[in-house]
Each structure stands twice: as structure tokens, then as C-alpha cells.
Chain A
């Protein structure tokens, strides 16, 4: 069965291609299109955005002194969600 661009992107992420530029190069499409596909896959629940810090950190007793809260990582990270991986 032929794979579409959405599935092809998912397959590449699963294979370990970890940046949008490399996915774009392999699929011969623009980086903007890959980033658009990533947003669609996110809204469908296939991948999820990785947030720095977690909601659990809000209740952490070390929150006040934790330097983790000021870590600022440029670039967005998305992780494949297992529950939806080729269900």
C-alpha cells in the first residue's frame, strides 16, 4: 500500500531521522512543508510536543531554586507517541 507524505514523515521519525531538514531532504520537499506535516501529525495525536519542564515541576519543592526552569532551548522537539504508532 502506497505511503503518503504524512506516513512517510512518521516512518522517517521512527527510523531515527531526527531533524526536519533531513526529513525534507529525504522526501524532496521543503522544510516548511515538513514542519506543516509535523503540526498536522501533532493535532492528530501521532506525535506530541516535548515541553521543557513538566506540569509536575510546578508542584516541585525545589521549583524556587531549580535552574531547569530557565533552560531555554531554541527549536521545537516532537516525540512519537507510542499509543498511536501505526495503531
Chain B
């Protein structure tokens, strides 16, 4: 703000994030605001002018923080502003409905030796609804500072707040703030360090007790500051002393001091807050008892995903069949207008047939994403995360791996890239390697096609079965790779469960569209190119059927191996083209059988050539074998050549073993 603010009394607003600080700031300053940055950092600085009884005050909105440590820039900004004595009055906006954590910051402010602190006890209405009752007079007496109950949204208490701010700024109200008291060994050390500091010029500018406490917590900013005045030898002496206290507590003093401060607040609060009424168990709590239970949670998870597939198939299959018919009609209507036989084959069988076979699955993909968005928006996904995390931990995976694993259901490429969020090298590589085993939406196309064609009565069950086997194999792979290939430590995590909500349809549709439009983009690029290549290889040097086409030769070269899992040369060629994009497995079959876009005809022809067991093995192998080229590229970019090679070899070996085992066990069982 301009120079006219010079000479004005400064009021600083401090507080936790989301306590209504900005609402109070706006109410105090009206439209007379200025937004900029704090010097040297990109933390937003808001200033405004408050007018009260003909007098003007400069109000500065400090960044919202939970404490005043030196771990984050915004905390440092707030701390330094208070520490440098820039404010005449500090208004600490406290959320009455979450008093404990808010008073933690209050104690940090009071511990700095600041006298002119006023508490704006905001959201008092919400706290009362929760059954809390405040004895404000007692609270003021215990804390030694004025406390003004406010409801910033309705404006309640703001006039009183203005009055008290003015009085405090004019020195008419002087607080006598309480300060936390610690255990005897800590207090003794605070006294020891304080005595050393008393001989320095620091005393004139800072509260010595605060400096001593911060030194005990090994606050790097304070260590740097004191070093300038004490020198290295004296500092080493103090730090050695602190180490002895740490040795006594068997841990670092920052957590010991924070704990004791927390307990101190807990005791204080009992003097001025009473809670009436029992804490009732909500419907959300009751649901969580089942949905996050170690056993019922897993059963619920399987049931939810079964329902998800049932929803996708029941609603999607008729639309999918109709769309297949549309592509069929499109091919039939175009064919007579193309005279050149080769060009007709390329456009009708290759391009429309190949891409159409994949595009007809768009309704299923879109519905899958809708179902996923509903689960996310309702808050269920967070519950699923806690259930999965518990299982993943048992298999040596860090909780944080859950994020790339969830992303993988959409596409493995961003999922591999999301492993960047894992800072532990072992966790990152492990998650990256098992990620391609999670079925992406492309593989869902293959799974749904085969499940629909061969297991129409139990298609949802078969689809969930393939998903469950893949996830189980991913977990077992994590256990195996973690034990023998990549060793390291785990990194635990905790989730704050959101309340259950009815999803907003607009948001569900937007998110589902955002995700599924990638599927359309892929159909127009990678799958189209793949379809043209497959068509060429199937028709040159001679059309497929006589054993002379490149596709047949390629398939026959690999067939001796795929035969071990009951898959013929057609499956071999399909799997090879599936490496470009997994949807190509179906597109290839369409082109090989010359039925292209007619999904019903393709299903009939495939049923004549394969048993349900072979179809199940094909679905499983398609899910487990080599990652697509884009995923291999992502693993190479993120982990290097070595891990890309490991992913390729491991997935190939695993899918071969599983395919051979399932097929031969199936044969033995007479399937």
C-alpha cells in the first residue's frame, strides 16, 4: 500500500488455514485492500485499511499456518512478521469447533513473548451445535488475553472485535499471556540456554525464552541467528548439552516439546470448555465400521466392484451392440462406392473394421469411468484405499503406491509417471514394475469382449475374476520382487476419510468424459495406425487363409510357444499387435476373420474356433503379458533401460507361466 499507511497502527491477523480469517479480514477492511507478495517469496500478502471511530489501522493478513516452525515458507513469513515486532496487535483467529489444534498456534504465538494478542473465537455457532459450551471470562483469565466470540459469516461479534483491537492498539488493554510450562529437564535446559543468551544483543530484540526453546528443537533459522552472536565453539557446547537432554528422552526435543505443549493446552481447555451430550455414532461411522473392516471391507470391495461391472455390462452391452451395428452399416454402405479392391479392403476391413471393433467399446469405457467417478465422489474410494493399503502393506508395498495403482485402472502410462510422487527409490521401482499388471481401460475392452462372447451368463463374474487374479498377481509380484530384487524400507501413510456424499451428476459426467475422451483420441491415432498395419500384414503377399500372409507367418513362428497355453497363431498375432495398444488384440481378430466391425459375427467365429477355457486364458494373458509400447517407454523414461527390460522380461515370464498353468489345470478339470 502507499505511503499513506505509514504511521498507522498495524493489526496482524494470524490463524490456521480455513478458520474464517479471510472473512474477518474482508469484514474489517471492506474494499480498501491491496494484494501483493511478501518480499522475496511467492506467498500472497494481503493488506487493508480498517476504520473505527474515525481512526485508521493497517490490517495485515498473515499466511494461515498450524504452527510457527521453520519447515514451510508461509510459516516463516508469519513467524518473522510477529518476531520482528511489526504488529501493534495480533488478532489470532481461532476456530472454536477445532479448538485444540488452533490453540496450539496460539501457544506458539504467546511463547514468542507477544503481549498484545486478541483471540477472535470464530465459528462459535458450529462449536455450539457440536455441544461445546465456552466460559469466555474464564478463557480470558486462563489465557491472559482478550477473547471475542465471533461468527464472521453473520458478522456477529465483529463490532466488539474492532473495539477491542482499537483499545489494545492504544495500550488501553494490556494482556498478561500464559506460556506453556514443560518438564523439569526441559525447563532446566531452557534456563541454561537463556542464561548463555542473556549476555548477547539478542536480548534487546527477541524473547530469550522463545530463542532457547527453538534452539532445543534445533530450529535451523534460530541456530543460524544465534551462531552470529555466540560463535561456533559456544554453539557446539550448547548443542552438546541439548544432545544430552535428547538422550534422556530418547528422541528429538521438537516432538517432546510439541507433545508437552499439546498436553498443556489439553489441561487448560478443561477449565473453560465443556462438552455436552454424548458423541453420537453417525451413519457414516456405522458404514465405515463395515467398509474399512479388515475382513468385511475386502468382501465389500469385491461386492462393490462386482456391482460396478454388472452396471457397466447391463447398461453398456446393448449400446455397444448397437454401435457395432452402426459401424457395420457404415462399412457396408461405403464398400460399393470404392471400385479398387485393395483400397476397399484397406478402408472397409482395415480402417473401419479395426477401429470400429475397438470404438464400439466406447460405451463400456465411458460407463466404467462414470462408475469410478461415482465411487470417488461418494467418498467410497478413500475407504477402498484404506482396505487396499492394509493388503498392500502385507505385500511390502508402501501405502502411497495406492495412487499409481488407482491411476493404472485408467491407463498405465500416467500411473507409471505418478510413481514420481514416491520419494523412496525402492518403492518407486517396485510400484513401477507391478503397475502394468493392473488392468487398464484398454485391457478392459479385451476382457469385456471375451467375457461377453464366451460367458454371457456370468460375464461380470468372469471380468471381476480376471481383475482379481491380475491384482493378486501384482501383489504377489511385489512380495517377490521386494524380497529378491529391490530391498528397502516401507513408508506408511494415513487417510483422512471424507464424509459420504451423494455425487453431483455434472461433476461425474465431466470427469468421466475427461478420462474417456483419451480412449477416442487413441482410436483415431495408435489404433488406426495399428489397424492399417494389421490389414497390410494380413493381405500381403497373399490374402490370409493360404498360409502365405506375413501375419500367418508371424503367428506360426510364435504358435509353438502359445500352443502351450492353448492359443493358436491368430491369438499369437493378436498378442503381438496388442503390444502397440491392447485394444488391437480384438481389432486384429476382426481383421483376421474378415468381419471387422461386426462384433456379433466376430464373437460367433471366435466361439467356433476357441473353447471358453482358451478365451479365459487369452483374456488373462492379454492382461498380464508385455506392457504396451507407451507403458514400456514410460518405465524406461522413469526408471531407465534396466528396469524397462526387467518389466518386459518379468511380465512375459509371468504371463507365460500363468497361461500354461491355467490352461493345463483347466484341461485336467475337464473344462
Contact = CB atoms under 8 A, between A and B. Distances in A.
A73 B499 CA distance: 13
B138 interface: no
B111 interface: no
B258 A77 contact: no
A7 B259 contact: yes
A57 interface: yes
Contacts of B399: 18, 77, 79
Given A44-B255, A57-B420, A78 B101 contact: no
B382 A73 contact: yes
Given A62-B417, A86-B251, A21 B497 contact: yes
Interface string A58-87: 001010011111111111111110100011
Contacts of A36: 98, 100-102, 104
B260 interface: yes
Given A13-B493, A36-B101, A70-B514, A77 B400 contact: yes
Contacts of B129: none
Contacts of A40: 66-67, 101, 104, 258, 262
Contacts of B411: 67-68
A37 B16 CA distance: 13
A39 B634 CA distance: 34
Interface string B589-624: 000000000000000000000000000000000000
B644 interface: no
Nearest to A79: B493
Given A30-B279, A82-B489, A74 B498 contact: yes
Given A73-B406, A80-B491, A86-B251, A57 B417 contact: yes
B69 A1 contact: no
Interface stretch (B37-45, B232-240, B373-381, B654-662): B373-381
B136 interface: no
Contacts of A44: 67, 69, 71, 254-255, 258
B56 interface: no
Interface string A3-23: 111110010011111111111
A78 B494 contact: yes
A15 B393 CA distance: 10
A19 B494 contact: yes
Interface stretch (B188-196, B383-391, B544-552, B553-561): B383-391
A41 B518 CA distance: 39
B633 to A, nearest CB: 10
A75 B497 contact: yes
B493 A77 contact: yes
B263 A74 contact: no
B318 interface: no
Contacts of B16: 39
B371 to A, nearest CB: 15
B341 interface: no
- SS of B interface (majority): helix
A35 B514 CA distance: 32
A46 B256 CA distance: 13
Nearest to B403: A52
A27 interface: no
A87 B69 CA distance: 16
Contact of B263 (A5, A39, A56): A5
Contacts of A51: 421
Contacts, number: 206
A82 B255 CA distance: 15
Contact of A74 (B377, B417, B521): B377
B53 interface: no
B148 interface: no
B492 A13 contact: yes
Given A50-B400, A56-B420, A16 B393 contact: yes
B108 to A, nearest CB: 10
B291 to A, nearest CB: 10
A22 B495 CA distance: 10
Given A32-B97, A42-B66, A75-B382, A20 B279 contact: no
A42 B67 CA distance: 9
B415 interface: yes
B66 A43 contact: yes
Contact of B414 (A31, A45, A67): A67
A3 B255 CA distance: 10
A68 B418 contact: yes
Contacts of A38: 494, 496
B641 interface: no
B252 interface: yes
Most buried by A among B376, B390, B495: B495
Contacts of A56: 420
A60 B493 CA distance: 26
B314 interface: no
Contacts of A4: 258-260, 262-263
Interface in B128-166: none
A46 B67 CA distance: 13
Given A18-B386, A80-B491, A87-B251, A6 B379 contact: no
A67 B420 contact: no
B421 A68 contact: no
Given A6-B258, A21-B497, A42-B66, A37 B101 contact: yes
Contacts of B539: none
A33 B251 contact: no
Contacts of A23: 494
B420 A21 contact: no
A1 B279 CA distance: 31
Given A13-B492, A80-B491, A82-B489, A66 B414 contact: yes
B424 interface: yes
B292 interface: yes
Nearest to A30: B279
Nearest to B65: A43
11 contacts: A1-B251, A4-B262, A4-B263, A5-B266, A6-B255, A19-B494, A44-B258, A47-B494, A62-B414, A70-B511, A82-B489
Given A18-B495, A82-B489, 9 more contacts: A6-B262, A7-B255, A45-B69, A47-B494, A56-B420, A66-B413, A71-B410, A74-B376, A75-B382
Question: Which 3 residue pairs are nearest across A and B when measured between Cβ atoms?
Answer: A4-B259, A36-B101, A68-B414
